[in-house]
């Protein structure tokens, strides 16, 4: 059990859902959705329908097609949460819970990624471009990659940095291709 993070490139809406609350049967369609609380992360998409879903909250969703996808960045749920906490602590100096509890801090580096689902969801290209810039950005004279790299947590250090670079690549590709980053 874990999260697979893909970038899909040049994503366009397909008008195929005819019945509220039901997915279409076209297996080649890309099904994208977000919990309502994260709808802003996919604001470029011509979304979509809303319905009270199995999550007990509104979900925004729709069918799309894409011109291919990036390599997957896959982690266990626990691995991703440790990785995300390290990102938050190393670059922002705070725990992720601080961001989760205070949405007004979304302007901080990486905040739209840290304050996001860890299992399923969609981030479209405008937000992806911002996060991509954060991967390449710096704070207080040190690059975010350096801050992340120097915030050591143990023997798996190379693993953490590799995931940083892999995700930076996914977000960069999505940002320049009108794509989406999909967590599934």
Q: Contact positions toward Zn ion, by CB under 5 A?
A: 16, 24, 26, 29, 63
- Which residue, 26 or 176, is less far from Zn ion as judged by CB? 26
Inter-residue long-range contacts of 116-119, CB under 8 Å, 24+ positions, other chains counted: 116/38, 116/41, 116/183, 117/34, 117/35, 117/38, 117/183, 118/3, 118/77, 118/80, 118/81, 118/84, 118/183, 119/3, 119/77, 119/183
- Which residue, 14 or 129, is less far from Zn ion as judged by CB? 14
- Which residue, 30 or 123, is less far from Zn ion as judged by CB? 30
Residue 24, Cβ density class (10 Å: 0-12 exposed, 13-18 middle, ≥19 buried): middle
Number of C-alpha atoms within 13 angstroms, CB side, residue 179? Answer: 22
* Distance of closest approach, residue 108 Cβ to Zn ion, in angstroms: 36
Tokens 């099904």, located at residue: 31
Other CB atoms within 10 A of residue 8 CB: 24
Instruction: Judge contact between 109 and 92, C-beta under 8 A.
Output: yes
* Distance of closest approach, residue 25 Cβ to Zn ion, in angstroms: 8
* Distance of closest approach, residue 19 Cβ to Zn ion, in angstroms: 12
- Which residue, 16 or 82, is less far from Zn ion as judged by CB? 16
- Which residue, 66 or 91, is less far from Zn ion as judged by CB? 66
Give φ, ψ of 173 to 5 degrees. Answer: -65, -40
* Distance of closest approach, residue 36 Cβ to Zn ion, in angstroms: 21
């Amino acid at each position: 059990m874990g999260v697979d993070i893909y970038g899909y490139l040049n994503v366009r809406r397909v008008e195929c859902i005819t019945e509220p609350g039901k997915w279409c049967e076209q297996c080649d369609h890309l099904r994208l959705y977000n919990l309502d609380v994260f709808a802003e992360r996919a604001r470029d998409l011509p979304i979509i329908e809303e319905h009270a879903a199995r999550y007990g909250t509104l979900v925004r969703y729709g069918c799309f097609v894409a011109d291919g996808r990036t390599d997957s960045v896959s982690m266990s749920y626990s691995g991703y949460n440790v990785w995300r906490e390290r990102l938050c602590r190393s670059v922002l100096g705070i725990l992720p819970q601080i961001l989760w509890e205070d949405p007004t801090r979304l302007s901080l580096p990486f905040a739209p990624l840290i304050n996001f689902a860890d299992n399923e969801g969609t981030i479209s290209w405008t937000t992806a471009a911002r996060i991509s810039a954060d991967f390449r950005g710096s704070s207080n004279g040190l690059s975010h990659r350096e801050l992340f790299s120097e915030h050591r947590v143990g023997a798996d250090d190379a693993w953490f940095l590799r995931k940083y670079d892999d995700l930076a690549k996914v977000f960069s590709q999505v940002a320049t291709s009108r794509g989406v980053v999909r967590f599934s």
